[in-house]
Structure 1
Amino acid sequence: MAADWQPRRANAWSPKDDYPLKLQLGLPRVAKEWSNSCAAADKTCKRALQVRVWVRITQILNVGRPMNTFRCAFDLTLEWEDQTFKPVISNDVPFDQVDWARHWRPRWSLANLASEMHVEPLSSSCFTLHPDPDTLKPRVRLTQRVAGTFFEPFSLRRFPFDVQSLTIAISCDEPQSSVAFVDAMESTLDAGPFSPRLAEWLLLRRDTGLQANLPLDQRTPFTKTITQMDGSRAFPFSVFVARMPVKRKTGYYLTNIIPIYFIIVVYGWLAFGNLPDQDNQDQLNFLASLLLTMVSFKFTYRETLPKVHYLTLMDWYVYASVVMLGLQGVIHVWAKHSTHSQKRPRELYGLVLLVCLWFFIHGGIILYAYRFFSYLTELGPTELRDYIDTFRKSDHGIETQNENNYRTHIGGRKPSVPSISFMAAPHLTGARLPTVTAAQMQREGSVLNSPEIGSLFSGDEDVGSPETKAEC
């Protein structure tokens, strides 16, 4: 029953009952924070309890739908040492007599949860016991299936040649002086029948070798634990971060969008085939019809493009196509206002210039696409992390400059809510709440101000919804 798993503040063992296990878990005891803990301890210790954390990613769905979110299902495993279960390890007490609701367990929350979190209810099947291979001390392992929609501010300035870092941030709700998360370095991606194979994205492997057919369960995500301090808590706490680098599959855009614009611009070159003595009014009408065709074509695929407040690489390419059609019209007008003997040479010179410029642009696209397809796949974990962080810092620099220009434009007025400085990091956000307190916003920004988590995110999108804790 759910009521049996409510956190208890009493000891696991009491002389009034016949429960065979007496609590032996020692944690640093601080009265202010310990009153909110799951259980009390009979004795204290000077060293924080280390909880090993790892995840097994089982599903990744709906990346970027809706914008800046992705849905993920994973198995969260927490493992810690507890001398209370020494009689169970030594077979003095049967395992089925353990009342897990009496015992301490770590409290955690999802820092970047957006909505729709589902956690497997706690039961005896979620817990396992095994001795430590070195010290033979009993270790408790808690595994729960967690699914939810997570917030991830995408950096889309290089769309469709963009690389994202899908992040899951799990924060400990216990003080760092009592409980500290430790990265177990055992996080994996499931290779089962429901493994995260995305239609539009490709998971980048972490290995440093060049094995192209490496199984997904060996392509572990980037993981790290950090210590964070915020204004809503009077103590520092641990945060476990799992990052899954993905790159977009650009086949749809390279085969269905870019060739159409290329053909429209090339088709406009046919206007140079008119005879010199003919009026260029027909040429301008022809270019205007091509421009209308280009605009109408954009409406057919606009739902597949991200709606952001800045220009992506795809936007720059579309505008370059429009400019190329405009330059053709300028050349026709320029040639018309010349003598009859100079009209044809001017048109030919302009055509050669446009052809060279257009193919030069596509040569750069081909080189960038080749680097995007081959170079990123061969990067090791360190190089890949640096590659992602470099572009995110560049995007953050552009955002900072735009923000400063905006503040200068409005007269240097500061917003009513203190702004948060980022190192390539916007907000971690959660589900929408009726009210937003200053403490919540301060905590939200504090989690991301650290260099470790801050470099995971870009400053592309402003999100106003606050962080919501999802307690276990």
Structure 2
Amino acid sequence: MMMKSTNDEDTADVLPHTVRASSLRMRPSKDLTGILPTKEVRVAYQVLSISNIDDDQNRFTVDFIVYYSWYDDNIRAKMDNSKTAKSNDWKVWQPHPMFFDNDLETTTIFSHLTVDKDEKSGPTLVTLIERYRGTFYQRLHLAHFPFDGHTLTVNIGSKLPAHELRYVEDPLRRSGIKKEFSMAEWHLLNSKSTFTSAHSVASNNRYPLMKLHLSVRRRSGYYVFNTAVTVSMMVVLSWSSFFVQAKELGDRMAITLTLVLTTVAWKYVVSDKLPKIAYLTLFDWYIVAAFFFIFMTGIENIIVTLVDNDQAATVDLYVGIAIVSLWLLWHTLFCLHVWRARVKVRETLAREFVSDEVLEVMCDGGLCEEILDKNN
């Protein structure tokens, strides 16, 4: 999808275009041998914000600035005495950036180009600064929800083929994330850019490609304290039926069925907060287990009424202890699995942003969980 230009009220104070956009027919200047070289464009970025990470529709919205810099000796313009000059009469070659593959809706908030001529050495540095706000598709794997983490990717390419243009990292301009930016539900851990090329089947050409990777991890506290703790309390309350006389089936089942209905109603209320996917997440397994233990309590209430009166209290006691013990065992195993899932998520995200040699040393020292925490 090609980018669209618009005028935003919040960017009214930003300078407009300072040059006329070049056409695709315009090419960079040839070298001394007369050969048209591959133009090297240095790229840097600044992530301003990320919002609307949608679990159901697998999309996210990001606001960011990209800096494109390159040298061009073929600028047809009148240079004044100042080091940096701006004129609407200039016509400058540009890399014609565009988004590839996963963009759903992208807007160019502003585009600003400046020309900086070094009077001593001669080459002219051109810098194109563009701010984008777009919604991008990203497949999210939610098996570890709400302890999941993801790498969000934005693909920035060009209308020019790879033999004419190559993106490289800008060594003079620092890329990264705006420090004061934060999200309520997510930790934005890290970011990096990789440079490659992509093949187009339609044109049978390869095009330059910069991939902007954003590492995020969900803040699980909301789901733990507002949902998991609540359903745990319902399970514990179902055990209050054990304190009713073993033969009082009606009173016992009144407690159990009330809690079953309460849990079902609670599940409908929180369903909007949970991802709508076809497989079970960690949180889904926890809720299913809670229903199962409440169900087991109801079955125990029925079975104990079939036992002789002199043995009913003993059976009730031991079966109740067994149910409570199984719940505690389940909690221990579940917490252990959650801990392992969190470590796996952090290591997976770390491997995408840290070299294998550094990661191996840190994991041997037991620091795998701290690899990305420095950016929190």
Q: TM-score scaled to structure 1, two decimals?
A: 0.62
Same amino acid, percent of matched pairs: 23
Letter in structure 2 aligned against 1:246: V
Cα contact 2:197–2:208 (8 A) shared by 1: yes
- Could you say which residue in structure 2 is the equivalent of 1:262? 232
Q: Deviation of residue 350 (structure 1)?
A: 2.1
CA distance in 2, matches of 1:136, 1:378: 48
Q: Output one character per residue of 1:270-312: Cα deviation in whole Å (capped at 9) or x when no partner.
A: 1112224x23233223211110000111222222111222222
The structure-2 alpha-carbon separation of the partners of 1:66 and 1:137, relative to structure 1 and needing over 3 Å to count, comes to farther
Specify whether residues 64 and 385 from structure 1 end up closer, same or farther in structure 2 by C-alpha distance, changes over 3 A only.
farther
2:168 to 142, 157, 182: 182
Question: Do residues 244 (structure 1) and 214 (structure 2) align?
Answer: yes
> 1:89, 1:129 within 8 Å by CA — same for their partners in 2?
no
Residue of structure 1 in register with 2:39 after alignment:
49
Question: In 1, distance between residues paired with 2:348 and 2:128?
Answer: 34
* Partners of 2:47 and 2:161 in 1: CA distance: 27
Aligned residue type for 2:277 = V
Who is 2:188 aligned against? 203
Contact 1:89 1:131 in 2 (8 A): no
1:354-379 superposed Cα distances (whole Å, 9 cap, x missing partner): 21222223334444566677897799
- Of 28, 53, 68, the match for 1:78: 68
Q: In the alignment, what sits opposite 1:445?
A: none
Report the Cα distance in structure 2 between the residues aligned to 1:9 and 1:377, rounded to whole angstroms: 44
1:275 maps to 245
1:67-466 aligned at under 5 Å gives the runs 67-85=57-75, 95-96=85-86, 99-100=89-90, 102-111=91-100, 112-115=102-105, 117-122=106-111, 125-129=112-116, 137-184=123-170, 186-191=174-179, 195-205=180-190, 221-276=191-246, 278-367=247-336, 381-382=350-351
Cα distance in 2 for residues equivalent to 1:110 and 1:63: 19
**Residues 375/128 of structure 1: CA separation in 2 closer, same or farther (3 Å cut):** farther
Letter in 2 for 1:353: A
Change (3 A) 1:66 1:78: farther
Change in Cα spacing, 1:336 to 1:230, as seen in structure 2 (3 Å) is: farther
8 Å CA contact 1:108, 1:172 repeated in 2: yes
- SS of equivalent to 2:53: coil
Structure-1 separation of matches of 2:342 and 2:117? 45
After superposition, the Cα gap between the structure-2 partners of 1:370 and 1:88, relative to the gap in structure 1 and judged at 3 Å, is farther
Structure 1 residue matching 2:182: 3-state secondary structure: coil
CA separation of 1:93 and 1:325: change in aligned 2, threshold 3 A:
closer
Q: Secondary structure at the match of 2:319?
A: helix
Q: Is the 8 A contact 2:147 2:338 kept in 1?
A: yes
Aligned AA (1:179): L
C-alpha spacing 1:94/1:288, structure 2 compared with 1 (3 Å): closer
Q: Deviations over 1:109-168 (max 9, x none)?
A: 1222112x221454xx422425599x8743322111111222222221211111122221
Q: Which among 53, 60, 84 is matched to residue 63 of structure 1? A: 53
Q: Which position in structure 2 is the counterpart of 1:8?
A: 23
| CA distance, structure 1, for counterparts of residue 255 and residue 275 of structure 2 | 31
Alpha-carbon separation, structure 2, partners of 1:312 and 1:377: 18
Question: Residues 172 and 181 of structure 1 are in contact (CA less than 8 Å); yes or no, is this contact kept in structure 2?
Answer: no
Distance 1:132 1:60 in 2: 41
Counterparts of 1:241 and 1:9, CA distance in 2: 23
Residues 1:188 and 1:53: Cα distance change in structure 2 (over 3 Å) = same
For the 8 Å contact 1:61–1:196, the answer to whether it is kept is: no
**Do the aligned residues in 1 keep the contact of 2:59 with 2:138 (CA within 8 Å)?**
yes
Matching residue of 1:410: none
- RMSD over aligned CA atoms reads 3.7
Counterpart residue number, 2:5: none
Shift of the 173–345 alpha-carbon distance from structure 1 to 2, 3 Å rule, reads farther
TM-score (norm 2): 0.77
What is aligned with 2:3?
Answer: none
Q: Between Structure 1 and Structure 2, which shows a larger proportion of strand residues?
A: 2
Deviations 1:378-405 (A, max 9, x none): 9994376799xxxxxxxxxxxxxxxxxx
Structure 1 residues 222-245: Cα deviation after superposition (integer angstroms, max 9, x where no partner): 211122213122111122111111
Q: Distance in 1 between matches of 2:74 and 2:131?
A: 26
Unmatched runs of 5 consecutive residues or more in structure 2: 1-15, 357-376
**SS at structure 1 position matched to 2:196:** strand
Q: What residue identity is the alignment partner of 1:330?
A: I
SS of residue matched to 1:228 = strand
Assess if the C-alpha contact under 8 Å between 2:75 and 2:92 holds in 1: no
In the TM superposition, residue 8 of structure 1 has moved relative to its aligned partner by 3.1
Could you tell me which residue of structure 2 aligns to residue 14 of structure 1? none
SS at match of 1:330: helix
Amino acid at match of 2:275: P
